[in-house]
Every structure is written in structure tokens, then in C-alpha cells.
Structure 1
Amino acid sequence: MALVITDETPPAGYERLVHVEDVESGLDAFICIHSTACGPAAGGCRMWNYASLDDARRDVLRLAEGMTCKNAIADLGLGGGKSVIIGNSRTDKSEALFRAFGRAVDSLGGLYYTAEDVGITPDDMAIVASETPYAVGLNSGAHASGDPSPFTAEGVFQCLRVGAEQVFGSADLTGKRVLVQGLGHVGMALAEKLHAAGAVLIVSDLNQNAVKRAQTDLGAEICSPEEVFSQQMDIFAPCALGGILTAETVARLTAKVVCGAANNQLATPDIAGHLRARGISYLPDYVVNGGGIISVAGEIHRRGENYRRERLAGIAERIRRILALSQSSGKTTTEVASDMVADILAQASSRRVLA
């Protein structure tokens, strides 16, 4: 049976939602394009064992919207999109599956660029790229950017230091208790940077091999996922999946700064107000974790290392500006960031109409 690509009716404000199936390879995926106002949509592909089709659909919609915000505020000339593959990334991968996914991406004719996200490696993306030129984050090629995780981790680390400076009066992390939730590629890279900076590490992950490595190599304390919000900490760095900050978890949170790589950390938008009311400085995730897409954007636009370096340095300054505006206006940091994105998208839409 051939690859089946079905256009679904996207929610208001979205441009396209595609369900992709390939029975032979076992591919079951969604590709979502939220906005192309600033340019072709770009966003990683996540492989996750979703409980249902509806769960996968909800996730790709949230993630695609987040990529619009992330790409716009980082001034990358890219719109927002995302894809998710339903499956276990440890047991369900195959060359046929990624080839089928590549053909699905290619069918969109350049409206969407894909790259690595949770559960996907550069080797996987290389297979996707054998079927389409719209797969990036590759290890080889004239403008290859490789795994975006180190860039994401560096951006988060620099923003975390800005947050510490604002709250504690110094960017020096020596002795600060930092809990890193999630030790995937980004979380582990961030933990290594924090350890080198003198922070006291607490880590949590379901992957016991990763936890043991952090304990052995980085001297990290370990807590179970259920104990995360009962820990004493100065800084919380969520680097796993989203939706972990709820009214209940925020009420228990002891950290004074939240800065992590996870997407969609707030379960609902009003949680930003809960954090502010408790005196917790929240650094908006789609600003903080933009390092990975900056790296990928360099590949898409065929630019050199300077392009990545300059834009990566801009992440921390952007967070500094957001924190200052939040303090002076009384708005939450998410409201300030959302206002910035809205202005950027409005200007981009106007230019597109006039063109």
C-alpha cells in the first residue's frame, strides 16, 4: 500500500495539518504547519509512543505554534511547523519508516523543513534526507549543522545565568542547587555545563543509565520523577516533555528561577501568573531553547558558523530585555514575549500582502 497523506482541517490560526500513514513501514505521523508568515515552516520531528492519535495531534499542534514563536523572536526568516511520529524510538525505528516520512515531508514542496527532536538522531535524519532536500540537522554536507542539541543546551545555559543574575544578584552559579529534569541530549549537555560552572546538580530521568552517568561523572544528586517538586532547589531546568508546570506543581516549587529546554512547559497560559505571584522568575521556553533551531536555520539558509554564533549570543540578551520589560510593565514574561512575537508576525504579514 502506498503512502497515504490526508489533509485534516486545521484549527483556526493554523495553515495545514497532515496525517501520514504507511502500512508497510509502520509509519503513523502528523505534520503541522502553523505559520509561514516569516518564511517556510521549520521545526523538528519528535518520535514518541503517544497513547492515542488524539494525543499526537494535540502535541504537534502545540509544538508547531511554539515553533512559530521561537523562529519569529529569534529573527530567523522562518515560520513554524512540527512533526511527530507515533512509536517507540528505541524499538520501532527502521530505514523504511524514515524513508516514508521523508517522502511525506517532500510532498509539501518546501513549505516545511524537518530536523531532529526528541527520539530522533542525525543518523535518522540522514535517512529522511535521502528522500527530500527539506531535512536538516545533518552531520555531512556543505552546510551541515549536525545535532542541534549542543546549541540548545548552550542557549539555555546562557539564559540561566541571566536569570540567576537578575534574581540572585550574580551570574555565578557556584553552590546554586539546580534541578535538571530530563537527561536526553540537551539535558545531559546542560548538566555538564552546570557542573563545570560549580552548580550543585540534582537530576531526574526515567532512563537509569543517564541518571547513573550524571551521578558518577557529575556528582549529581538523584531524585525520582515523582519527587521533583518536593526538592529544595534554587533553579529548576525542565528539559523533558512539556506541561509540567501546573497550578499544583507551581505551588510546591521551591526554585526562584525556571529556565529549561522543554517545549510548552506551562500546562496553561495562566500558569505564568501563578509563577509571578510566587516570586518565581520564569524564562519563556521558546526564547530560551532557540539555540537548536538557530543551528538548523544556518543550514537551511546555507550560512556559515558566524551566523550561528551571532544569533546564539542574541538569545541571552533577548531574555535580559524580556525580564526588564516584565519588571517595568508588570506583565508576565510570557505576555512580554507574546507581544514581541505578535508585532513580528504582524509586520511579516503586512510585507507579504504588499509583495
Structure 2
Amino acid sequence: MLKVMIVEDEQPTLEMMNMLVDQNKHLSVVGSFSNPIEALDQFPLLQPDVVFLDVEMPDMTGMRLAEKLIQTNENIQIVFTTAFEQYAVDAFKVNAVDYLVKFVTPEDIERVSARLIKNHEQLTKIKSLEESKGASIRCFGTFEIRGTDGSVIKWPTRKTEELFAYFLLHVNQVISKWRLMELFWPNHKHATTNLHTTISRMKKVLRDNQLPIQVEKVNEGYLFDLQNIECDLEAFKNYFSTNKKVAKENLAESEKTFRLYKGSLFELKDYIWSIGLERELAERYTYLTEQLVNYYVEKKMLEHAEETMKLYLTMYPLHEEMNVKLFKLYASRCGYKEQLKDHYTKYVKLLKEELDVEPSDEVKKYASFE
């Protein structure tokens, strides 16, 4: 709901405007004034989102007042009201959202409120982006949160950090407080207190680092909203919610998502509750790698296919299917006998050192380099 201030020198009209605005479900009057000087003084305290201004007023015109209000808050939305249409051009010189000719009707307020809400949503999004500039969350191959200044955030306790990690898996979902207590403080007589304390610590860290991340109490649970913070996990998950196969139309997005994955989820943190998702994400990464390789091979982009498989194998060097794909690629290309021989030797040696096993029959097919 948008906060509204009304400035109108005629008392009957002021009362009518109050009534009309309050009837609109999207608007709420926080202050109404017949004196523009008084309105200007109270403006910083009320902090309205919208100001309805009469154009012709004694002591200070609506145009002049609008200029002063904009100097205080450049994002304030101005709507002029007047009985004289000739002021319309002047009104838009101060970037007024709209210009209502008296007498104003409920339909006029409904129409202008739609524009006001749309503008406010855009301003909020821009502000959020500006606030989160430089902030980032990395979950693949590490677990690192950076503030808006780029510095790594330090958590007061390991439990606070772990709870934040858990919320990252459930963005925009209401998580039951009972579920959180059962998971983090099972059979603990002070579980409720521990949860509230940990949530408070988390919120303080977010405030201190100016991160526009919301953790809200909703009934018997909590809702976690990342706003516009850059998060590799959320971007990775979002890709698979809208894409099923790599194609020309989504190639750039597919390649970007492939590069997001730099290792297992929350690597080295050993969160028991994340094991299932960790396996699922690894499987999705493998699937995406295979999709990219198949696309590159189909389009004769063999260098891209080779590089993609080699990057994958830096994280999962023992993955047999991917190694076989790389063997096949080398075997199909003229002049790549040495690359095939070198990679085969390294893979067989790794199998022996890590697993103490011999290569499979499928792999042994590539043992001959003649």
C-alpha cells in the first residue's frame, strides 16, 4: 500500500480527496494539509510515496512545492489536481505522474493508482539492485557470502551460518519453525529460544552488511527472500526449471549455467540435510554437460566439446561415461592420437591409485593407439 500526502487549500475539496484516496485499497493517507508551507515541513517526517497537489494555492504554488519536494526526494510521485487544464504542460515539466481535473472521481483515483503502483514497483526493484550491487552468494565448491562492499561476511556462530544455508535451499517458501527446531535442535528443551536467537543473529548480520535479504515470520514459520542478490545456487536451479534441452536459443544461458558449478554444494561444510540435494545438483550438472557436448559435436564445434568435458573431469575425474566420451572424441579426430594416449594413461593410473581397479572393457577399447 502506498503512503499518500494531500495538499489542497480548499477545505471541502481536501476532505473529499481524503475520502476518495482512503477508499482505494492501494492507497493510504498519512497526511493532509491546506497550507503548502506546513506540508513541506512535514514531508521528511511522513515520507510519503505519493503527493496529490493542488496547482493554485496561496503562499506557494503547487508547481513550486513540487520542485521543493523533488529536491528532498527525487523518487516522489506527484499527481496534480486543478480546475484549470492549461496547467497540464507545466505539470509534466516537473515529471508529474498524472494530472487530474476537478472534480476528481473514484474512477480517476483508481486509474492513477494503477500507474502509481507500477512506478513504485519499478523504483523498488531499481533500489534493490543498487543496494545489492557487489553482494553475492557462492554455494558451489565453497560457501561464501559477500557484502555490498565485496568483503566476506563472518557469522557469529556456525549454527547461524548453517541455518542461513538451509534457507538458501528454500527461497520463497514458508519453512515451519517446528521443522527447523527438529532439524537443528532435536529434543532440546530450549529449541524455541535457540531458534529465535539464531534468527535474530542472522538478521543482524544481514543488516550490518546492508544485504536486502528478507527473513519474515509467517504464521508458524519463516519466509526467506533473496531479493536481487546474486546467488549461484538459485541461478542454477532456475535454469533447470525452464530449460530441458540445450539449443541455439538458450546456448548462452546454458554455457553460463555450466560455469556456475565449481564443485559440490557447500563443499567442506558437511551439512547432513544437504546430501540429497547435493547429489541431485551433481546429476543435473552431468546432464547439462552431456547436453552441451552433444550440441557442440552436432554443430562440429569439437574444441568446445573437448574443453567442456575436460572442465567437467577436473571435478569428477573418475566419471567413466564422460571419460569414454572424451576418448571417442579424440579417436574420431585426425592428429589427436597423442591426446588420446595421454588421457587414457592418466585415467587408468587414477583408477588404480584411487579405487585399485582395472579399467572396464568399454575403456580398454581405447588402449590401442595404432
Higher Cα radius of gyration: 2
More helix per residue: 2
TM-score greater than 0.5 by the shorter chain: no
Q: With structure 1 as the length reference, what TM-score do the two structures score?
A: 0.24
Q: With structure 2 as the length reference, what TM-score do the two structures score?
A: 0.23
Higher relative contact order (CA 8 A, sep 6+): 1
